[in-house]
Structure 1
């Protein structure tokens, strides 16, 4: 069965992951139309395996937007700026809102999309455009997801007790004592305030404007037939899940280009350290890169560093700076000893798959939480932006390479991660085609998203049982009291 997909992706590393799925679907004979903004720097307008639909926009999440946001975040973490993460996220939300408006305000674009008669919507939940479009076009949805518009994907669809499931941004693991539970509850409250005051009102205003008044965005979000979650429980802390979540991982490494292979082999017994901040983190302050380069210059290993901007003055002879590198293939090379990363989903998954030690430098979004999970399992060491200098970075690299516990932990995690009965990409393709064959597998859908919160948490049942017990107890008490009074009255009358 050949199908037509409408794909609404997210920029940056999210697109890298979505691109793999689109290529695989093309290989199966399916066709895909990908929605992109005119200034997108990852989703190309011309491709051999998908057709693009370009949305005009005046301001989007483009290269300049991300560079500005990154510099403000780094300066905030290093105490050089007063702008907070919340203010930066508000800028992101406004840009997303503008992009969605540009789609729905264009009659030509909506008409074209309706005429194409797609079979399925494939979208990334970090932005909500795909959810709204799927409702407008009446398409079944499949999500490629790690984070949703409101936070970590599981929190929107699966039971998430705060007693052992760490809330994003809390800094907790799944081993939580009483005081950490209090911190977890406080983090959950902050997340709820952020969602109720900023995220959901933004999307709900679009629902109210373009749909009927009874359409609720959060219910639309939960209506997808399959959630492809970009983690597994080797990495993620064990937790409850539901029937329509499918977990998948990255792919094996391929052979390197000859120039890179020569560089790897020239490293001798010490090997190579790879550093890449991948897609969103493009340009860094000069003093920041100077500290990184100075740390690399002290190492006996060779270093390959993906960085396209100005070369630091402290760059050592052992360090090669490149505009591009095949990250997954480098991490799969036997000469690679460690990976310096920001903690994006793709990077840590690739390191986990190949068993490569990680030194993490988280900047924003999910990066700290990702690295925290890997550090808790013994495979990573985290450095903060505020404390990073040539000495702390050099010490962290040396620690993960020299101490055997890091290597043994990462090898164990890698073996567990790769021990699967079916190749993850094949499993993903099966479930996408399963949704198409059966016009949406309703038997995998829980009814939980239709319940009000008091029914979901059985508050109404608890209140009813409490009322019944209270009435029963009061009835017994009043009956006994009545009998006692009656007996006393008769006794006094007899006397």
Structure 2
């Protein structure tokens, strides 16, 4: 009896000690300014995990957001009234123009015109974002409420520049959920990036480049630099000048984040220099598969030994031109596998009985099902990482942005095959590509090897992300991890001034030595003449 009492007393003491011991990080108050589209999908997963750990989440978004729900159990929303939505700018017309460019069937004047139109649309998108931010900052009552809410930090995706400006206006620590910085890959801005072995997005290069590939890499490195400069000067710098003061440079503010949660890892990305405040969370949105809805489970199981192919072209591409759609459907109809295809357009005329069209699919859960044999994907970061996590080989149909380069990293490692929309409706290209990846074992073997490497980490990517967000809350930032390089002018960063100084000193010393030698020679010549 005494032993039981002693055990009860020990248990009570242990419980009391646990209650009284201060927690490492109390529940935080987090302000979020997210991006739209697929960027929101992975931000949403991060927010759900933060909420599950007791943090309070407040989202600032447009009144015409097409993804962010007004009422959700795990975040509060502040909606800013706007006249136009980004979705209106991202029209199907833009996709058709990109497909025409890929086909190479345009005269060069039309190609140039489309390129100019695309850049003008890009400027319009960021101008629309700045209009949204101006409306927010001009609302004095709302801004007073935000300041009085005493947020611990601001979490944003810096493919939009507005979150950075809002953080500086509210004087909040800043954390990025990042892959892109406006138009360039974020590594290029935050860390030293020798372009002799770091491929620029859009170059189609790997980290092993020939001389002419390095020439191409250099030229393509300059394009986003020019675009970033123009967007900063034409759009964002005006907002900085108005609300933060004339002494604030937008490009410097963008680099002044406390923590960069980078949505890649070095199983996927090529090795490159990095910085102490860059935290790699590639695949943080991936998780073990949950049971499928009954109708999908029955369809998958009905595939027998042949298995299932999953096809999805992401957030912005829900349907393709009819000729392409029919060619893809025809290729699927010739296969013994069952197919689940996310497709919202008209039913293809050549659709086979083995193909199920769906408006939405639980992509991660499908890819984790043991009967999935192949993923036909556009190459977005989320889908590529989910395929890698579950070890499913890929046939890639990239459209724009970083999609080709994402797929290229898998292809370079023997886990994917890429075909373009320019050739998808030619002969049997699509059918042969699918057949090759299905029947050649090396694709699945290589992807499963990448999966094992990705999973073999001391800490899960999501836990790593949460730790560093809470770290910033605990310490009011992470200034000790931030480099001073972004404050330096370009000539100081590249030591041009030091090189000029050292060359000047060397030339001066050389000049003095030459003068001394010449003087000695003249003196010797004078003495010789006198002796003669």
For Structure 1 versus Structure 2, the TM-score category normalised by the shorter chain is over 0.9
Cα distance in 2 between the residues matched to 1:328 and 1:425: 16
CA contact (8 A) 2:71 2:77 kept: yes
Is the partner of 2:185 in helix, strand or coil?
coil
The residue that corresponds to 2:72 in the other structure is: 47
The residue that corresponds to 1:223 in the other structure is: 256
**How far does residue 90 in structure 1 lie from its aligned partner after superposition?**
2.6
2:132 maps to 1:102: yes
Q: How does 1:423-462 map to 2 (within 5 A)?
A: 423-462=460-499
Cα distance in 2 between the residues matched to 1:236 and 1:494: 78
The residue that corresponds to 1:343 in the other structure is: 379
Cα distance in 1 between the residues matched to 2:130 and 2:251: 17
**How far does residue 87 in structure 1 lie from its aligned partner after superposition?**
2.2
Cα distance in 1 between the residues matched to 2:191 and 2:90: 34
CA contact (8 A) 2:130 2:235 kept: no
The residue that corresponds to 1:366 in the other structure is: 402
Is the partner of 2:341 in helix, strand or coil?
strand
Is the partner of 2:325 in helix, strand or coil?
helix
CA contact (8 A) 1:3 1:119 kept: yes
User: What RMSD in Å do the two structures reach over aligned CA positions?
Assistant: 1.6
The residue that corresponds to 2:422 in the other structure is: 386
- The Cα offsets for residues 73-123 of structure 1, whole Å up to 9 and x where unpaired, read as 223333367552452243133133223223323414433323322111000
Unaligned runs of 5+ in 1: none
The residue that corresponds to 2:301 in the other structure is: 265
* Structure 1 range deviating more: 210-219 or 74-83: 74-83
Cα distance in 2 between the residues matched to 1:76 and 1:59: 28
Cα distance in 2 between the residues matched to 1:62 and 1:41: 7
Q: 1:86 to 1:424 in 2, by over 3 A?
A: farther
Cα distance in 2 between the residues matched to 1:93 and 1:236: 29
- The Cα offsets for residues 148-190 of structure 1, whole Å up to 9 and x where unpaired, read as 1131010110001111111121111110111111111111122
Q: How does 1:212-251 map to 2 (within 5 A)?
A: 212-248=245-281, 249=283, 250-251=286-287
Q: How does 1:449-488 map to 2 (within 5 A)?
A: 449-488=486-525
Cα distance in 1 between the residues matched to 2:324 and 2:207: 33
The residue that corresponds to 2:95 in the other structure is: 70
Cα distance in 2 between the residues matched to 1:272 and 1:266: 9
Q: How does 1:118-197 map to 2 (within 5 A)?
A: 118-197=151-230
Is the partner of 2:525 in helix, strand or coil?
helix
CA contact (8 A) 2:308 2:338 kept: yes
2:114 maps to 1:84: yes
Matched length: 495
2:40 maps to 1:15: yes
* Structure 1 range deviating more: 402-411 or 448-457: 402-411
Unaligned runs of 5+ in 2: 1-25
CA contact (8 A) 1:203 1:217 kept: yes
CA contact (8 A) 1:160 1:240 kept: yes
* Structure 1 range deviating more: 401-410 or 360-369: 401-410
Cα distance in 2 between the residues matched to 1:396 and 1:63: 35
Q: TM-score, normalised by structure 2?
A: 0.90
Cα distance in 1 between the residues matched to 2:366 and 2:250: 41
Q: How does 1:391-406 map to 2 (within 5 A)?
A: 391-406=428-443
Cα distance in 2 between the residues matched to 1:379 and 1:66: 32
CA contact (8 A) 1:126 1:147 kept: yes
The residue that corresponds to 1:56 in the other structure is: 81
CA contact (8 A) 1:57 1:99 kept: no
For 1:293, which of 314, 329, 335 is the aligned residue? 329
Cα distance in 1 between the residues matched to 2:512 and 2:133: 63
**How far does residue 259 in structure 1 lie from its aligned partner after superposition?**
2.0
For 1:5, which of 30, 34, 47 is the aligned residue? 30
**How far does residue 200 in structure 1 lie from its aligned partner after superposition?**
4.5
2:369 maps to 1:333: yes
CA contact (8 A) 1:67 1:283 kept: no
CA contact (8 A) 1:41 1:63 kept: no
The residue that corresponds to 1:421 in the other structure is: 458
Cα distance in 1 between the residues matched to 2:372 and 2:116: 37
Q: 1:174 to 1:348 in 2, by over 3 A?
A: same
Is the partner of 1:468 in helix, strand or coil?
helix
**How far does residue 63 in structure 1 lie from its aligned partner after superposition?**
6.2
Cα distance in 2 between the residues matched to 1:392 and 1:405: 20
The residue that corresponds to 1:29 in the other structure is: 54
Cα distance in 2 between the residues matched to 1:492 and 1:121: 84
Is the partner of 1:340 in helix, strand or coil?
strand
